[in-house]
A and B are shown apart, each in its own frame.
Chain A
Amino acid sequence: MSVSSQAEPLHFALIGTPNSGKTALFNALTGSRQKVANYPGVTVERKSGMLQTPGGRSVNLIDLPGTYSLRARSPDEEVTRDFVLGRFKSEAAPDLLLCVADSTNLRLALRLVLELKRVGLPLLLVLNMIDIARRRGIDIDLDKLSAELGVPVITAAAVRRGGTDDLMRRLDELALATEAARAEAAWQPPTAGELRAAQREADRIIAASVRTPAAPDTLTARLDAVLLHPVAGLVILLAILFVMFQAVFTWAKPLMDQITAGFDALGVLSQSWLPEGLLQSFVQNGVISGVGSVIVFLPQILILFLFILLLEDLGYMARAAFLMDRIMGGAGLHGRAFIPLLSSFACAIPGIMATRVIDNPRDRLTTILVAPLMTCSARIPVYTLIIAAFIPDKTVWGFASLQGVVMFGLYAAGIVSALGVSALAKFMFWRESPTPPFMLELPDYKLPRPRSVLMGVYTRAKMFLHRAGTTIFSMMVLIWFLASFPRPPEGAAGPAIDYSLASWIGHAMEPVTKAIGFNWQINVALIPGMAAREVAVAALGTVYAIEGGKENAAQIGQTLAQHWSLATALAVLAWYIFAPQCASTLAVIKRETGSWKWMAVTFGYMLALAYIAALITYNVAAALGAA
């Protein structure tokens, strides 16, 4: 081994079937030394992390999307194939493939190993979740298995402390041997006949080296008897979603109150420390009340992600897809679209990226088109602000909070409209083409690992705060500028904001927005709201703060309650169910569909729906006397 290669990090790749615990192993091996946060739901982004072998070698480990075969069918699986075959121009093929397998479910993994052998790269089979297999009495003869496969085999328990020690020790040996183990690349997409032969061979190897107890795991079967029951299963799924949204409201409340109090204190502090004038206005109205009004939603976003990550790790998400397949199928959506759409409740961006697991282009496009209709966490600030200001805080039906019920209704409106749009798209564009297949492995239930879940939630928190610190902050500066300049002339009457650019823009839009009950202040907030929906809240805060003075800054909700009619408030809620107010989402749609056309289609149909919904809501509410 030469000196230069000692210094260069080696490139190892993790590959495996879905649910093999690959990502848990990746987390265990690389810890917090990961590059690029992953999005929830599924492993779609290219994730890499550095690790040090006990012998001191640096290894750059890459976590590839799960696949049953290199015969890629989805964009997600294409990434895996192209990376393994060294087809990416930017990076060389890995030095070593670590094929991860669930020790309790080896059948499909061993067939994949046989296929991977043909790639010609050094290969190691990692039997993950060996602790669960042993507990169930599954006895694997490692030497025999290794000899039969012609591939080194090592066990691991990614979620246990010290569960990857053997693997780490082995990596040193393998690092030395990687050059020697390289063979000729002979991979071709397997034919049906080759798949059959390979599976027969894998079954033979399992029969020769694995002894399974007569009584299999029954916990999953017993749970599924209830959770996959045609009626009870659906009821439980709805109940889980309902609890999730109630939790987002009630659990987050104390923390949010503290954050608000903290920012209020900061505002008071800045007021007393800074001299009256532009700088004070900038720090207090632009920075503190602007950024603070967004960061206050961090607890809610974290609770939502906590639920999604827990359900994912439990193995429940695949069940939800099973339960929802027929219902979504009626609307022209694929059962697999459930996971991307559920992720879209957190944020449409990871949701749209998660559609890469959908192999059929048509299904994928439909899912991308409707994903932004799912109520993302950026709408939460807008919804909660308006709900808190206009919907009385009381208990209905003896147990549910009315505000929570309204929130649930807004979520339901998003879901129903997504199903409607997708059914319409199917009817308009794809009436003739047949429905593509739905096939999904239902993994055994597993207790979520607290460490892995917390790591996921932490990543999300970091991303949100990063966004709050960059996009949202810069938008707030812009809004403060628009609302503060030009300065009013000497001796002018009325609030300073009436002379500003913001007022001019807001008034210019009034002819269009008058019909839906929006005043010029809302119009101003809509513009920076294009960058991110939650900015609208901060923008309203800034606009009203500059208009009304300091006492308005802390209490945006009360200010709104004084300035808006109920009809206007409801129209804003209706607008936000549909409005395409997120530049990043539109950018991701452009990237994922590779076309400006679909981005324009999304923007156009959502804007039209938003206007119509707000128009109807405002006029109906006004007719009922809410104006």
Chain B
Amino acid sequence: MRVLEPSMSEVVHMALGLAHRGFRGRITAISAAAETSGVPADELERRLLELGFTEGAQVEILHEGLFGRDPIAVRVNDATVAIRRREAMAILVS
């Protein structure tokens, strides 16, 4: 998994957790690492999938919190989901 700066987002994967407000893209992979979150990787992956974060879904970061720009409100196709950047690291987008 390569994590790159937002400026290169058009060409390669990057983690949604690093993107800024206004970012639009498509999910390319859900790839949870064990150290990403407080829950096991497999559990985090399934929770993200259940909230509609699936490969191919369109995402847009609509809002950010005040402190540390966290959490973020993400438009996923036709729904809006609040999520912390920490968990959003497992969502790869392009």
* A interface residues with partner B (beta carbon < 8 Å): 68-69, 71, 73, 104-105, 107-108, 111, 190-192, 195-196, 199-200, 203, 212, 216, 220-221, 224, 228-231, 233-234, 318, 321-323, 325-327, 330, 335, 360, 433-442
Residues in chain B near residue A200, CB distance under 8 A: 54
Given A68-B50, A71-B46, A437-B37: A326 and B66 interface contact (C-beta under 8 Å): yes
B55 touches A195 (CB 8 A): no
Q: How far is the CB of B28 from chain A (nearest CB, A)?
A: 13
Cβ-neighbour of B46 out of A192, A203, A323, A436 (below 8 A): A192
- Ordered by A's residue number, 20 sampled pairs between the chains whose C-beta atoms are within 8 Å are A71-B46, A105-B79, A108-B50, A108-B51, A190-B46, A191-B46, A199-B54, A200-B54, A224-B80, A230-B66, A233-B66, A323-B65, A326-B70, A330-B67, A360-B38, A436-B37, A436-B38, A437-B39, A438-B87, A442-B73
Bound-state CA distance A191–B52 (Å) is 15
A234 touches B84 (CB 8 A): no
A318 touches B82 (CB 8 A): yes
B14 at the interface (CB under 8 A from A): no
Within 8 A of A (CB), among B59-89: 62-71, 73, 77-84, 86-87
B10 at the interface (CB under 8 A from A): no
Residues in chain B near residue A439, CB distance under 8 A: 47-48, 51, 81-84, 87
Chain A residue at minimum C-beta to C-beta distance from B77: A107
Given A107-B52, A196-B49, A322-B71: A230 and B65 interface contact (C-beta under 8 Å): yes
B42 at the interface (CB under 8 A from A): yes
Interface of B is mostly: mixed
Q: How far is the CB of A367 from chain B (nearest CB, A)?
A: 16
Q: Give 13 A-B pairs besides A192-B42, A200-B54, A441-B79 with Cβ atoms closer than 8 angstroms.
A: A107-B79, A195-B50, A224-B80, A230-B63, A230-B64, A326-B66, A330-B67, A335-B82, A360-B38, A436-B37, A437-B44, A439-B83, A441-B51
Residues in chain A near residue B84, CB distance under 8 A: 325, 437-439
Q: How many A-B residue pairs have CB under 8 A?
A: 124
Q: How far is the CB of A23 from chain B (nearest CB, A)?
A: 19
B81 touches A440 (CB 8 A): yes
Cβ-neighbour of A231 out of B66, B70, B78, B81 (below 8 A): B66
Cβ-neighbour of B65 out of A195, A318, A325, A360 (below 8 A): A325
Bound-state CA distance A220–B30 (Å) is 28
B49 touches A440 (CB 8 A): no
Q: How far is the CB of A105 from chain B (nearest CB, A)?
A: 5
Residues in chain A near residue B50, CB distance under 8 A: 68-69, 71, 108, 111, 195
Residues in chain A near residue B38, CB distance under 8 A: 360, 433-437
Residues in chain A near residue B56, CB distance under 8 A: 203
A440 touches B82 (CB 8 A): yes
Residue from A192, A200, A322, A330 whose CB has the most chain B CB atoms within 10 Å: A192
Bound-state CA distance A191–B78 (Å) is 24
Given A321-B82, A439-B47: A326 and B65 interface contact (C-beta under 8 Å): yes
Residues in chain B near residue A229, CB distance under 8 A: 63
Residues in chain B near residue A330, CB distance under 8 A: 67
B71 touches A335 (CB 8 A): yes
Given A326-B68, A439-B82: A434 and B51 interface contact (C-beta under 8 Å): no
Q: How far is the CB of B70 from chain A (nearest CB, A)?
A: 6
Bound-state CA distance A573–B11 (Å) is 62
Residue from A221, A326, A330, A335 whose CB has the most chain B CB atoms within 10 Å: A326
B80 touches A216 (CB 8 A): no
Q: How far is the CB of A194 from chain B (nearest CB, A)?
A: 9
Q: How far is the CB of A218 from chain B (nearest CB, A)?
A: 12
Q: How far is the CB of A434 from chain B (nearest CB, A)?
A: 4
A212 touches B66 (CB 8 A): no
Q: How far is the CB of A132 from chain B (nearest CB, A)?
A: 13
Residues in chain B near residue A441, CB distance under 8 A: 51, 79-82
Bound-state CA distance A68–B53 (Å) is 13
B37 touches A326 (CB 8 A): no
Residues in chain B near residue A199, CB distance under 8 A: 49, 52, 54
B42 touches A224 (CB 8 A): no
A195 touches B49 (CB 8 A): yes
B52 touches A322 (CB 8 A): no
Given A68-B51, A230-B64: A322 and B82 interface contact (C-beta under 8 Å): yes
Residues in chain A near residue B37, CB distance under 8 A: 434, 436-437
Bound-state CA distance A212–B83 (Å) is 26
Chain A residue at minimum C-beta to C-beta distance from B55: A196
Bound-state CA distance A221–B66 (Å) is 18
Q: How far is the CB of A323 from chain B (nearest CB, A)?
A: 7
A216 touches B42 (CB 8 A): no
B79 touches A228 (CB 8 A): no
Within 8 A of A (CB), among B7-52: 30, 37-39, 42, 44-52
Residues in chain B near residue A68, CB distance under 8 A: 50-51
Given A196-B49, A360-B38: A442 and B80 interface contact (C-beta under 8 Å): yes
Residues in chain B near residue A360, CB distance under 8 A: 38
